[in-house]
Every structure is written in C-alpha cells, then in structure tokens.
Amino acid sequence: MGLNSDISQVIKEIDKVIGSKEGRWLEVSDYNLKSKDRKNMKSIYGLIHDILYHVIDGQKIIDRTHKDSLEYLYKKCADHVQSN
C-alpha cells in the first residue's frame, strides 16, 4: 500500500466517526474538531493519531507509512475534516 491508500483509509475512518456510521470504533464527541492543536490529543490531530495507531486487519497504518510522509498525511486528513 502507498501513501495515497493510507490517506484514503484514514479519511474513510474519519468519515465513519464524524458521520456516526456503523463500524466506527471512536466517538466524535471525544474530539474537538475545531482544534488543530498538535499537543491536544482531543483535537483533529488526536483523532488522526488514534486512527493511525489502531490495529486494522492485524496492522497499524502508522507501521506502513513512511515517517517522512506523516506530516503530509496529517495535513491532508486535517484539511479533509476542516472542509466538511
């Protein structure tokens, strides 16, 4: 899987959480989606972090994402949340 697949998978999980859809494992009420504070684990970045470190199909997304690409992944996912 590549970076674009990782971004798509994180955005898919974000959409489940925000839309309170079935199959979500996080609650939107646990996060402040207006905050982009990287130090606040209840911000958009906290939501993205929790998704990256959650085990899906026996693997964490963070384990297959190149460290140099994480900043870009966070930005693209945060921009997606802000646009919705």
Q: 65, 73 in Cβ contact below 8 A? A: yes
**Residue 59, strand partner residues:** 56
Per-residue pLDDT of the chain (84 residues; tens, 9 = 90+): 689 999 999 999 999 999 988 888 899 999 999 998 888 999 999 999 999 999 888 999 999 999 999 999 999 999 999 998
5 pairs with which residues across the strands? none
pTM beyond 0.75: the answer is yes
